Amino acid sequence: MKKFISLALAAAMTLSLVPVSAFASTDNRISNVVTVEKDTELKDVTSIPKIQITDDKEDLKDALEDAEATVAFELVLDGAEWVEDNMDNEDVVENAAQVDATFEKLTSTRALVTLTSKDESEKNDFDGVSISLKGVKVTSDTAKVTIDPKNTTVSANTFTFAKSVNGGAIITVDGTKDFYDGNKVNAIVIEEVVADTIKSGDKIKLKLNSGFTFNGKPTVEVVSGAGTTSTIPAGSVEVDGRDVVITVGSDNLDAGKVSIIKISDIAINEDGADFGKAAEITVSSNNFDTTTVEMGKLVDFGVSITAEDKDLPTIYSGMKAEDDENETLVLTVKENVANSWLAGSRKTTFTFPEGVKVKGVKVDDHENCTEPSDLIGSADSNDDFAIDGNEVTLKSLSGMVNTKKASLSLIFDVIVAPDYTGDITCTVGGAAVGEETKVTLAKAVAPITVEAAKTSVAIDYRNVSVGDITISEAKAGLWDKKDVIVLEAENMQFESGMKAEVVEGDGEIKKLDVTKGRITITVDSESSKTPMKIKLSNASLYLDRSLPAGDYALKLTDGLMFETYNEKDGNKPATTSEFGFDVDEVTVMKDYVTVATAGRDQGTTFTTEVAVTIDSTTMLVDGKEKTLDVPAYLSAEGWTMLPVRAVTEALATTSNSQPIDWIAGNPGTIMIYYGDKTVAMTLGSTTMYINGTPVPMSTAPVIVNDRAFLPMRDLGRALGLSDDQIKWDATTRTATFNPAATTTK
């Protein structure tokens, strides 16, 4: 019971906090919105706006049910004000015979409307009131009125009831219209805001901007407020180059009525304007503000070019076309001026990027011309089109209509080179078009993507381990059964022992074959839902002794990406022997392997055992202790950094007593000499030069406390040491070159 009482009290308190207006349900609206000149008082305006308060649900009548019951609410103006102090109640509050209604101006922007109950018989017919905004002056661009219910059953609303303009007329154009020399543009409409703004004898002036002149007299009609239309005589319209002067006569006006003047048949000549320049007309008179309107832009005899508004179709690089899989979006060419396209012997060309060739052209749609013949695959030319690799020429277009603009919509069937990816654009040009226009019609995507871990190696000839390779299918089902994928490493050979597995997707691979250093993967079952991803692991390479230092690429060299290779049978039209592409390999990774020490640099072998302990002022060279002026340290990235003195002690021999040289500069360079090797390391640079060949480094040489330090591992690689000949003992924090076979470092 206590819980019930508490809930009831809570509900009662909640309801007491909700204003009555929250339950108000009168239907309110504004009768109309007027356009007037600023500071106009609405009592002088036809169709004065009224606030309509309709009581269809009888909530307001119920509130007035008791004798002498009162409902009072406020009206608040924004952008307007009441200008009269003593306003007649009946002039303001209309349709209120069933109740007593009063209107009281509180301030220039606030007023109180009060409705008081009458006897029951009259009140039965009550269905709302109408409040006139007569006597309101518009003071801003937009005038609004807000109904403030003041906790009554009247609904709260805000309405716009008036808009103002500076000047006594509104001047508009029904949209811009591009035109050519002597062509007509859309009509100008001059509409009075206040009746009798334009008077008999007034002159209305039109002036074109520079570069244009009027071509003949326009037609001028006046539509009066009474609904009658009269034409201003041609004799009252004067044309002089860029100027038109219109004299309005008394026969054209209806006193006390708002008039609308329509100026049509406006033709414009080019008089020095460049193509693309907008023609503007300035309209002026003594009795309304000057207004400038844009009429349109001057265009040449030419065409507009657009592409279909759809997602770009995907065309797979290097794969042969099947059915409509290699079709572009629809490209539409439309005349700017009727019967101007392809006039005489002028032609239109459609040029695609290098790496894209056109197999055929289909006509998707045509208007106001004869439909050209499609050109599909079996030939490279007909009476209408000619194909030359990546360029299509439209040679003729017949049946064009003199009075209507011709348009032609085309679809292109294309193939893409194995090494081309990205947007497939079409540049439309030629004498019939004028300025070239480029549109995007499709996108080229590689059907195979290859990712691999980068590997830096020293020459070790055989079984050089390299990073894993991941091969991904661009779309499920793209690879068919028996399709092959072939990978090669630049100037290197893959060795047997590699493993392959499908790590994603529901397809299967039949076998992995490594023959003559090439990897060949054969698809056994195509994927259906999820694209395939194949991982190749346990890869190793054979490196030839003559390899120079530098980066070596991973390449695709055969298989489904090379179906457009023009030496392959069955992938070219019978009549065009050179239709395909001379692309027989695609680089998928430029720096798959980085050879840090070139094969030719192996002539001098560094065999000295050097042991350097972090933070120690001594080092061991073939077991002999050498003193260092500063100790080696471990960089933040974990690299052992040697002082230059340590390098000197390690490399110095009887015949090479000065193995280190310093070349001053900004930055400075450390030169290292050993046997037939000259190594240059520059402060701050992660590239060293071995006998002039650039080789990447793990980290850069630095200056610390005025002493030069260089990375020990990169020094070892420069001297021809493999990773197995450079050891790190984390327990003793000792780095060693050429550790003795009997010593654990």
Burial class (CB in 10 A: 0-12, 13-18, 19+), 176: middle
Question: CA 463, 692, 655 angle in degrees (round to 5)?
Answer: 90
Handedness of CA 397, 399, 401, 402 (dihedral sign): positive
Among residues 244, 268, 297, the one where a domain terminates is 297
pLDDT higher at 121 or 300:
300
CB within 8 Å of 398: residues ≥ 6 apart: 369, 370
Residue 7 in domain? no
Q: Are residues 160 and 115 in the same domain?
A: yes
Q: Are residues 34 and 152 in the same domain?
A: yes
pLDDT higher at 575 or 193:
193
Q: How far from 119 is each of 68, 124, 145, CA to CA, in Å?
A: 8, 9, 31
Q: Are residues 537 and 645 in the same domain?
A: no
Residue 203 in domain? yes
Among residues 414, 444, 474, the one where a domain terminates is 444
Residue 293 in domain? yes
Number of domains in the chain: 5
203-224 pLDDT tens trace: 999 999 999 999 999 999 998 7
Residue 11: its H or E element: helix 2-17
In the prediction, which pLDDT does 651 show? 84
Q: Which amino acid is at 495?
A: E
660-697 pLDDT tens trace: 888 888 888 998 888 778 889 999 999 998 877 888 88
Q: Which amino acid is at 259?
A: S
Closest C-alpha among 445, 434, 420, 446 to residue 352: 420
Residue 744 in domain? no
In the prediction, which pLDDT does 544 show? 74
Indicate if the pLDDT at residue 18 is higher than 60.
no
29-43, 174-188, 676-690, range with greatest mean pLDDT:
676-690
Kindly give the pairing relationship between strand 437-445 and strand 314-316. Answer: parallel
Q: Are residues 709 and 646 in the same domain?
A: yes
List the CATH number of the domain containing 692: 3.30.457.10
How many Cβ atoms are within 10 Å of 497's Cβ, its own excluded? 10
Kindly give the pairing relationship between strand 734-737 and strand 188-192. Answer: unpaired
CB within 8 Å of 742: residues ≥ 6 apart: none
Task: Give CA–CA dist 207/356, Å, rounded.
Answer: 52
Q: Are residues 159 and 173 in the same domain?
A: no
Question: CA 331, 334, 336 angle in degrees (round to 5)?
Answer: 145
Task: Give CA–CA dist 184/265, Å, rounded.
Answer: 6
Task: Give CA–CA dist 323/59, Å, rounded.
Answer: 70
251-290 pLDDT tens trace: 888 777 778 899 999 999 999 998 889 999 999 998 888 8
State whether residue 712 is helix, strand or coil.
helix
Of 163-172, 242-251, 529-538, 608-617, which gets the smallest average pLDDT?
A: 163-172
Q: Are residues 154 and 202 in the same domain?
A: no
577-631 pLDDT tens trace: 456 788 889 999 998 988 765 544 445 678 889 999 999 999 999 889 988 889 9
Question: CA 350, 352, 356 angle in degrees (round to 5)?
Answer: 140
In the prediction, which pLDDT does 603 show? 54
Indicate if the pLDDT at residue 14 is higher than 60.
no
The CB-side HSE value for 234 (13 A sphere, CA atoms) comes to 4
Of 324-328, 388-392, 700-704, which gets the smallest average pLDDT?
A: 324-328
pLDDT band for 15, please (50, 70, 90 cuts). very low
In the prediction, which pLDDT does 620 show? 92
Q: How far from 381 is each of 20, 333, 378, 513, CA to CA, in Å?
A: 82, 20, 9, 45
Q: How far from 392 is each of 349, 385, 386, 410, CA to CA, in Å?
A: 6, 7, 6, 11
The mean pLDDT value of the chain amounts to 84
Task: Answer whether 259's CB lies under 8 Å from 269's CB.
Answer: no
Residue 678 in domain? yes
pLDDT band for 156, please (50, 70, 90 cuts). very high
Residue 330 in domain? yes
Closest C-alpha among 108, 112, 46, 56 to residue 81: 108
In the prediction, which pLDDT does 337 show? 74
In the prediction, which pLDDT does 22 show? 42
Task: Give CA–CA dist 673/681, Å, rounded.
Answer: 12
459-489 pLDDT tens trace: 656 677 888 999 999 999 999 999 999 999 9
Q: Are residues 498 and 625 in the same domain?
A: no
Give me the domain span that covers residue 455.
448-599
Indicate if the pLDDT at residue 62 is higher than 50.
yes
Q: Are residues 257 and 383 in the same domain?
A: no
Indicate if the pLDDT at residue 414 is higher than 90.
yes
pLDDT higher at 497 or 2:
497
Q: Are residues 626 and 678 in the same domain?
A: yes
In the prediction, which pLDDT does 78 show? 95
In the prediction, which pLDDT does 373 show? 92
Task: Give CA–CA dist 705/493, Å, rounded.
Answer: 47
Q: Are residues 280 and 260 in the same domain?
A: yes
Handedness of CA 472, 478, 480, 483 (dihedral sign): negative
List the CATH number of the domain containing 34: 2.60.40
Residue 113 in domain? yes
Q: Are residues 591 and 488 in the same domain?
A: yes
State whether residue 561 is helix, strand or coil.
helix
Closest C-alpha among 446, 474, 443 to residue 583: 446
Percentage of residues of the chain with pLDDT beyond 90:
44
In the prediction, which pLDDT does 8 show? 43
Note the pTM of the prediction, 2 decimals: 0.48
Q: Which amino acid is at 461?
A: Y
List the CATH number of the domain containing 179: 2.60.40.740
Q: What is the mean pLDDT of residues 107-116?
A: 92
Q: Are residues 31 and 102 in the same domain?
A: yes
pLDDT higher at 489 or 741:
489
282-331 pLDDT tens trace: 999 988 888 899 999 887 767 889 999 999 999 999 988 776 789 999 99
Task: Answer whether 132's CB lies under 8 Å from 50's CB.
Answer: yes
Residue 8 in domain? no
- For residue 178 the two structure tokens come to 């591009």
Percentage of residues of the chain with pLDDT beyond 70:
89
Among residues 254, 271, 297, the one where a domain terminates is 297
In the prediction, which pLDDT does 464 show? 78
